[in-house]
Amino acid sequence: METNITLVEGLLDPGFIFSKDELKKYSDGQILKQILEDSSGETERFEFKLGLYSFNPQTQKKTFNTKLVSNIAKKATSFANTPSHKSSYIMIGVADSDSYNASDLGIEPFKIGPISIVGIKRDLTLSGKSIDEYYQHYFSALSQEPVSEEMMTMLKDIKSYTYNGATVLSIKIDNTGKPEPYNGKYYRREGTNTVELNVPDLICLTQNLQKHMDD
């Protein structure tokens, strides 16, 4: 539960902070519900992914999306390059719009505010894998990504939270105190966009990250 307490303290706005004693009363599901209600959709600190598998309902083709793993790694570096005293999160099993097709698999999403929760049951159904095999497939694809050791450690540190029968995966990203490259280039988060940095921006980022870590 201590991990969940830390998660909520890092996510919720200053006006909505539970004390640690209060947080101990809440289940994983209640905490996840509050987190997603607080996020109000994708923002500078939240990135939602429906799942790691692509599915074409017309052809019934199911594919592990390695490009999505690359996208997650790249966005993680952009989070790390956006100075903040709060952690950022990439959440798998969550859609920020109605553009999903999980219902074609007999999985009905449910809403928390504007956010649609599918959970990783969609991916497990598509892949036919156990949860351990699913993780290993992700880790194997992730190992090919051109990120630093610090970023790789964060990307592999997956937490799971279950609400209303749906399990959502959460990857927490923090600043590392230095600019984090993805494949030799540097990015930052601006709203819901991932923006490449030019040289002056990179110099400014380096100074800001160092100042941020000293604060």
Domains (range + CATH), the chain: 43-214 (3.30.950)
pTM: 0.81
Q: What is the pLDDT of residue 109?
A: 79
What pLDDT shows up at residue 1? Answer: 36
Positions in the chain short of pLDDT 50: 1-18
CA distance 40 to 141: 30
Cα dihedral 194, 36, 12, 86, rounded to 10, equals: -30
Task: Please give the C-alpha separations between residue 181 and each of 70, 77, 99, 152, 199, in angstroms, as whole numbers.
Answer: 13, 7, 31, 12, 13
What pLDDT sits at residue 147? Answer: 97
What integer pLDDT is reported at residue 152 of this predicted model? 97
The 10s digit of each residue's pLDDT in 139-184 is 999 999 999 999 999 999 998 888 888 899 999 999 998 999 999 9
> Long-range CB contacts (< 8 A, 24+ apart) of 127-130?
127/53, 127/62, 127/64
Q: CA-CA distance, 13 to 102, in Å (whole number)?
A: 31
pLDDT for 196 equals: 94
All residues at 6 or more sequence positions from 106 whose CB lies less than 8 Å from its CB, including other chains: 125
C-alpha distance across the termini of the chain, in Å: 28
The confidence score (pLDDT) of residue 14 equals 32
